[in-house]
Structure 1
């Protein structure tokens, strides 16, 4: 009943949001590794096509490499944005939150008595 009035405390939401940010950061790091591998593959393929004097295929490989590098830049900017959000999360519960919790426990004790 009182949780509906005071809407509870948001301590759990900050913990879960920090967990979500960490999971997202890990996922982006994995994607970054995959893109690095794709870039290196395209470079090797371009070298092979250049040796075989197939300029058109080599150019296609370099275009894909450029595309992957653009995606890599987007990932890096996303990672920095998430790290900024992580730093902005409150590290400790606010005093106001503790006061609300204390008031609700006091009210519950008074009602039970």
Structure 2
């Protein structure tokens, strides 16, 4: 299976703009037969993924726009990334804010 992220990102951003939440997502790989799950998440500017617990192991790749990954414990300064930036998601409670219309690829180990 292959997916064109360059095609999917604009589609999901359009969906996010149409939703009151300002968010849209699609899992592109990672069902019962896989060890990793890859999900593209689109967020309009100012949209937030509220603080939540960290998965076991995960990374975040910014595909478009600019996002801020925040540490809900107050123990860190957070991380701001723009298109092409990749980071490990810290193993603490965290949130994500879109500083402009953005799309990210979240990869988690199942």
> Where on the TM-score scale, by shorter chain, does this alignment land: which range?
under 0.3
Of Structure 1 and Structure 2, the greater helix share is in 1
TM-score by length of 2: 0.19
Higher normalized strand content (fraction of residues): 2
TM-score using structure 1 length: 0.19
* Larger relative contact order (Cα-Cα within 8 Å, sequence gap ≥ 6): 1
